[in-house]
Structure 1
């Protein structure tokens, strides 16, 4: 799974991919376990093999706001904290049992220093994350909830049923009641 994902970018040799995958540390999170909590400093990047994670923060009203859901076959981290090595403002929690491969920051830095293709790869990943963030902002500001919900269903149909309604509603920027109405409009 990870090798196919890395290969899809066309930037890394088989040797570089093998070297990276050997660095991965397997970890399992149970539902409700945290990858990281607010106030901690992020020291690794994870590749999600299976399961679902949500990234959230607490508003000034102490509301729990889900702003990202990470699906299998994606990298995940508390990116700002990982880069700056400052405590994070976010929480990343397992929605289901999650199998991860963890890659410590120092090992990624070693790869980057010793293999120029890793610098290119990390740049592409950072650019993709920026584009996804920009799309998310535009989608929340430009499109209605029905559009956002149907797009999510189209992109992740096999996993969407595993996300609790309260997290899904928060991610979509709507109430659970509104989400229930949308779900009735759309047949699965």
Structure 2
């Protein structure tokens, strides 16, 4: 829980009473590997802070192939923001690829924090903006790079994830086959 508070304090100020209120509105959830935090077709009604573990955001394309969009590791928030904000069914899954410990807020808990803590919305807006910029910076360069360059970029940007993610999921994220990824890794 302290990691969450430290993270929040990077984006704004909270006094001890506000910190205690935030803690009281959160609940710790242990999500086993392969479990889902949220699923396509359902409305996202909670937000998670990843205390420990790695989640992935994925979807199925029109050929029924599973595509990994990105990974969410420790000290980051996980939510299908479009579904959560607009209350429409999600088009993506958020799945644990390792055992995870999540600090979860319901939409009702976040609403109560917003109504009670002056400055809470500002903190959340700054976190959301930072996350969206990081998401664009993760995805945009990959569109123009070849497979080897995408893999090397991934290693450079996320060295702490490379050995924690199954090759099949990393290949899906990079947009290549697992055999191509194995070949690239052998030749490096």
Residues 172-181 or 161-170, more deviating:
172-181
Alignment of 1:107-126 (within 5 A): 107-126=109-128
After TM superposition, give the deviation of residue 136 of structure 1 in Å: 2.8
Quote the residue 1:13 is aligned against: 14
Match of 2:64 among 62, 75, 86: 62
Partner of 1:185: 187
Distance 2:153 2:13 in 1: 31
C-alpha displacement at 1:149, in angstroms? 2.2
Between stretches 80-89 and 111-120, larger displacement belongs to 111-120
Give, in angstroms, the shift of residue 66 of structure 1.
Answer: 0.4
Bigger CA drift: 161-170 or 106-115? 106-115
Mapped to 1, the partners of 2:148 and 2:117 lie a distance apart of 45
CA contact (8 A) 1:6 1:17 kept: no
**Distance in 2 between the 1:142 and 1:91 partners?**
26
How high is the TM-score relative to the length of structure 1?
A: 0.90
Counterpart position of 2:171: 169
Give 1:142's aligned residue: 144
TM-aligned CA distance change 1:90 to 1:174, over 3 Å: same
Work out whether residues 140 and 173 of structure 1, in 8 Å CA contact, stay in contact via their aligned partners in 2: no
Q: Once the 2 structures are TM-superposed, how far is the Cα of residue 133 of structure 1 from its aligned partner?
A: 2.7
Partner SS, residue 129 of structure 1 = helix
> What is the Cα-based RMSD across aligned positions, in Å?
1.6
90-99 vs 133-142, greater mean Cα deviation? 133-142
1:22 maps to 24
In the alignment, the residues of structure 1 paired with residue 121 and residue 164 of structure 2 have an alpha-carbon distance, to the nearest angstrom, of: 35
Aligned length: 185
State whether residues 2 and 21 of structure 1, in contact with CA within 8 Å, keep that contact through their aligned partners in structure 2.
Answer: no
TM-score, normalised relative to structure 2? 0.90
Unaligned 5+ runs, structure 1: none
